[in-house]
Amino acid sequence: MITIREVTSKKDLKAFIKFPFKLYKTSKYWTPPIISQELKTFDKKENPVFRDADARLFLAYKNNEIVGRVAAIINWLEVKNQDQKKMRFGWFDFIDDLQVSKALLNKVETIGKENKLTFAEGPVGFSNLDKVGVIDEGYDAIAPMVTWYNYPYYIKHYEAAGYTIEKGYIESRFPFSNVKPETFFKAQELIKKRYQLKALKFTKTEDVMPYADKMFDLFNKTYAELSSFVAITDIQKEYFKKKFISFINPEYIKFVVDKNDDLIGFAIVMPGYAKALQKAKGKLFPFGFAHILRARKQSKDVMFYLIGIHPDYQNKGVHAVIFNEYYNIFTKKGIQTCYRTPELEDNLAIQKIWKHFNPEVFRKRKTYRKNLQ
């Protein structure tokens, strides 16, 4: 007998967040989140996304034991402003029992129908800066901190519940030794002269902050045409600055500005935190923070988290300026492997940027959809 209960207390929320720690206890590839950060994600007073979104969390019980969880999400900006009547769901984890996953999805679908939404899609988060997709290829690689991990049996559960593939995502990597400076060094010098551009270098996080709002504005412009894109609001900018930028080595943040000091290109690279987070086991104290700080300074893996070019400068080689900046700092730090976060399979423009580095696709993800009407 499966019982579904809604999360209504702090105790329930902690149980919701900690369930994957039990489910993936023996996995070498699952990367645990920081529990305190996950709590803040679902704190309506802390996370400004709740000004424009609703989320209801559910736990599945079998014999009084938690066996699954799901977050049912409605982003009202998406529903009302873009006329995308989507019922989102994420943080979807469960044991290999079809009754459990179906019961959780039934809750999601019921909420969607009650709100007159036309389809459900997941796993996704609140916005484009959240985690996305269920793995369907590449289970034998550690999951970066900005992605979800799942067991292979998850796929059959989506299919059994009547869901079909909605979008495909790829994750790629390449050894830093693949990067040949001659492919971009001369080009970036010409581009800087032609368009009167300059690259900004940072050594302190506080020096990044004056440009952070401009970066999020440019992020909105860069990705506005992609499917399922929901713009970041002014209120959310402050939240994301606190959530992400403190985790990033300021030397790994690259901005390109024009002669008027207007931002026309940016990239954010994160150190490889996965192994440090596995050691931290979800806690910053007493030792987790030390593991993370060490990775921030010493990790030989990096992840290209975000890259954006102003529409007026796309296809003009601005990325060569950014790559040149990274080549210098990565060489200095002895970086060995470069990873890319999940990218839409049909985003051919971003894939062309990386072609000279001969990246390999090592993992694929999907989101699944089901019509509700």
- What CATH number is given to the structural domain containing 339? 3.40.630.30
Looking at the structure, do residues 160 and 199 belong to the same domain, yes or no?
Answer: no
Is it the case that residue 225 has pLDDT exceeding 80?
A: no
pLDDT at position 23 is: 98
pLDDT at position 295 is: 92
Q: Is there a contact between 108 and 89 (Cβ–Cβ < 8 Å)?
A: yes
**Residue 114: Cβ within 10 Å count:** 10
Is it the case that residue 227 has pLDDT exceeding 70?
A: no
Percent of the chain with pLDDT over 70: 99
Q: How many structural domains are present in the chain?
A: 2
Residue 373 lies in a domain: no
Residue 370 lies in a domain: no
Question: Could you write out the three-class secondary structure of 347-373?
Answer: CHHHHHHCHHHCCEEEEEEEEEEEECC
Close Cβ partners of 308 (under 8 Å, ≥ 6 residues apart): 215, 218, 219, 221, 222, 223, 265, 266, 267
SS3 assignment, position 334:
coil
List the domain range (segments joined by +) for residue 316: 174-363
Looking at the structure, do residues 263 and 314 belong to the same domain, yes or no?
Answer: yes
Taking only the tens place, the pLDDT of each residue in 113-138 is 999 999 999 999 998 889 999 999 99
State if pTM tops 0.85.
yes
What burial class does residue 299 get, using C-beta atoms within 10 Å of its C-beta: 0-12 exposed, 13-18 middle, 19+ buried? Answer: buried
Taking only the tens place, the pLDDT of each residue in 74-106 is 999 999 988 899 999 999 999 999 999 999 999
- The rounded distance, in Å, linking the Cα atoms of 270 and 286 is 23
Looking at the structure, do residues 163 and 208 belong to the same domain, yes or no?
Answer: no
- DSSP codes, 171-206: EEEEEGGG--GGGTHHHHHHHHHHHT-EEE--SSHH
SS3 assignment, position 24:
coil
Taking only the tens place, the pLDDT of each residue in 321-362 is 999 999 999 999 999 999 999 999 988 888 888 888 999 999
Phi, psi of 171 (to 5 degrees): -120, 135
Q: Is there a contact between 154 and 24 (Cβ–Cβ < 8 Å)?
A: no
Last residue of a domain, one of 107, 135, 170: 170
Looking at the structure, do residues 152 and 220 belong to the same domain, yes or no?
Answer: no
pLDDT at position 228 is: 66
